[in-house]
Amino acid sequence: MKSYVFLIGVAMMMVACGQKTIVEKTQSELLKERLETLQQKGYMTGHQDDPFYGVHWEYEDGKSDVLLSVGDYPGVMGFDLGGIEMGDDKNLDSVPFTRIHDELIAHHERGGIVTLSWHPRNPRTTSPDGGRMGQQFPEGSAWDVKDTTIVKGVLPGGDLHEKFQTWMQRVGDFIETLKDKDGKPVPVIFRPWHENNGSWFWWGQKLCSDSEFRGLWDMLQDYLRDERGLDNLLWSYSPNLDGQWTEERFLQRYPGNARVTLIGEDAYQWGTEEDFIKQLTADLDFINDFAKKNGKLIALTECGYKNMPDSTWYTRVLQPIMDKYPLSYFLLWRNYKEEYFGPVPGEPTADDYRKLAASEKVLMLKDIQ
Ligand code: BMA
C-alpha cells in the first residue's frame, strides 16, 4: 500500500513536469552521486559532535578539535538524535537539539556532509525525565538490554507500538526542520539501528529475531521515507566490527538493496592491534565485495581507539587498512573530556592526524567543497 502511494507520487511528479517527464532528483540521490564522485578521489575524514566540544573546551562558536589540529574541518560531521524521541531539549550527550540543528545546517552550507545516528531510549523502561539524567545507567537507555521483547513490543500489534509511533514522529519532525537557506531539505546520511550484530542495544542480535529486526528497520523507513516523504535521507546500514561475516549471516539482517544506499561498519580497537587489523581487514574484504556486487557505497561509520593509547595509531594502524578500500569516509567518535577518539590539539595525536590528513587520498572539508 505504501509503495503504491509512493508510485502515485512519482507519477504525479512526472505529469507535473509535462511532456518531458523529467523527475527531479531528490537530495538523497544527489548526495549519493556526490559520494560516488568523491569516492574516486579518496575517503573523507569525519568526526562525531565535532563543533560542540573537545577535550579542553565546550560550546565555543567555530571551534573544533579537528580544525585546531589541522586547520580545516572534517569532511563529514556526525550528530546523534538520542533523546529527540522523548521531546527532550538536549540529546543523550547533553547537546541542545537547537545547536545540532544549526551546526548540521552550517556544515552543509560550508560544503560538508552530515550524518545522523539515533540512540533511542528503551521504550519500556525509560522514565520521562530518565535516560542518563534521572535513571541509573543503563536503565531506561538504549543500552538497557535486560528485556528481549522490546523490538517485538514496538512492532505493529505490540504493546509499545503506539508510543513508538510518537517517537518516530518526533524524529520525522526534527528531520523536517533541516533546510538550507533556500528552504531546500539538507541531505543527511541516516544510520539507525546501528551495531545490531552486537547485543548491547535493545535492537541487538540477541534481543530480537531476524524478522523482528527487519520489521523494525522497515517500520522506521516506511514511516520516514514513504509516509513522511523525507527523501533527503540516505540510508546507511551499519553493523559492528564482526570478523566473521559470511554472506548468509550478513543477509539475515540486511534490510535489502532497495532500503540501503551505504553499508558501513562501526569499528573500534578495544583489544590488541593484531586482532583489530585482522578483523577489520576480513570485514572490509567481505563488505567491499558485497557492496560492489550490489552497487552500494561503503564507509567506516564509526571508528577509533579510545583515548589514543598509541599516538601513531591513525597512520600506522588505521590508514594502511583504509587505503586498500574505496571507502567514502571514516568517522572518528567524539572528543570529550572523559573519552576521546579524534586528534587532541597540541598533543602527539594531532601530529599523527595531520600526517594522515596530508595524504592525497584523505579528504578534508576543503578537498570536497
Ligand atoms: C558512546 C559513548 C557514550 C555516548 C554514546 C552516544 O559510544 O561515547 O558516551 O553517550 O556513544 O553518543
- C-alpha 24 to ligand 1 mean position (Å): 38
- Specify the pLDDT at position 133: 58
Taking CA atoms only, the protein residue closest to ligand 1 atom 8 is 334
Residue 280 to residue 274: CA distance in whole angstroms? 10
Residues 6+ apart with CB under 8 A from 274: none
- C-alpha 132 to ligand 1 mean position (Å): 11
- C-alpha 119 to ligand 1 mean position (Å): 9
Average confidence (pLDDT) over 18-38: 88
Residue 255 has pLDDT above 50, yes or no: yes
Q: Which atom of ligand 1 is nearest to the CA of 80?
A: 12
User: Who lines ligand 1 at CB under 6 A?
Assistant: 80, 92-93, 119, 333-334, 339
Average confidence (pLDDT) over 300-325: 98
Question: The C-alpha cell of 269 is what?
Answer: 580497537
- C-alpha 342 to ligand 1 mean position (Å): 14
Task: Find out whether 217 and 157 touch, Cβ atoms under 8 Å.
Answer: no
Q: Report the residue among 93, 94, 339 best suited for mutation to probe ligand 1: largest number of ligand atoms under 8 A from its CB.
A: 93
Taking CA atoms only, the protein residue closest to ligand 1 atom 4 is 93
Residue 344 to residue 65: CA distance in whole angstroms? 6
pLDDT digits (tens, 9 = 90+) for 79-135: 999 999 999 999 999 999 999 999 999 999 999 999 999 999 999 999 877 655 578
Residue 14 has pLDDT above 50, yes or no: no
- Specify the pLDDT at position 128: 78
Taking CA atoms only, the protein residue closest to ligand 1 atom 10 is 93
Burial, 272: exposed, middle or buried (Cβ in 10 Å; 0-12, 13-18, 19+)? exposed
Q: Please give the torsion angle defined by the CA atoms of residues 210, 216, 219 and 225, in that order, rounded to the nearest 10 degrees.
A: -100
Question: The C-alpha cell of 165 is what?
Answer: 509511533
Q: Which atom of ligand 1 is nearest to the CA of 339?
A: 8
Length of the chain: 369
pLDDT digits (tens, 9 = 90+) for 186-208: 999 999 999 999 999 999 999 99
Taking CA atoms only, the protein residue closest to ligand 1 atom 3 is 93
Taking CA atoms only, the protein residue closest to ligand 1 atom 9 is 93
Average confidence (pLDDT) over 21-33: 93
Q: What is the pTM of this model?
A: 0.94
DSSP H helices in the chain? 2-16, 27-41, 65-70, 97-109, 131-134, 150-154, 161-176, 210-221, 247-253, 273-294, 313, 319-322, 348-358, 365-368
Q: How sure is the predictor about 20, in pLDDT bands with cuts at 50, 70 and 90?
A: low
pLDDT digits (tens, 9 = 90+) for 293-305: 999 999 999 999 9
- C-alpha 245 to ligand 1 mean position (Å): 25
Q: Let me know how many helices (H) and strands (E) the chain has, helices first.
A: 14, 11
Q: Mean of the per-residue pLDDT values for the chain?
A: 94
Residue 11 has pLDDT above 60, yes or no: no
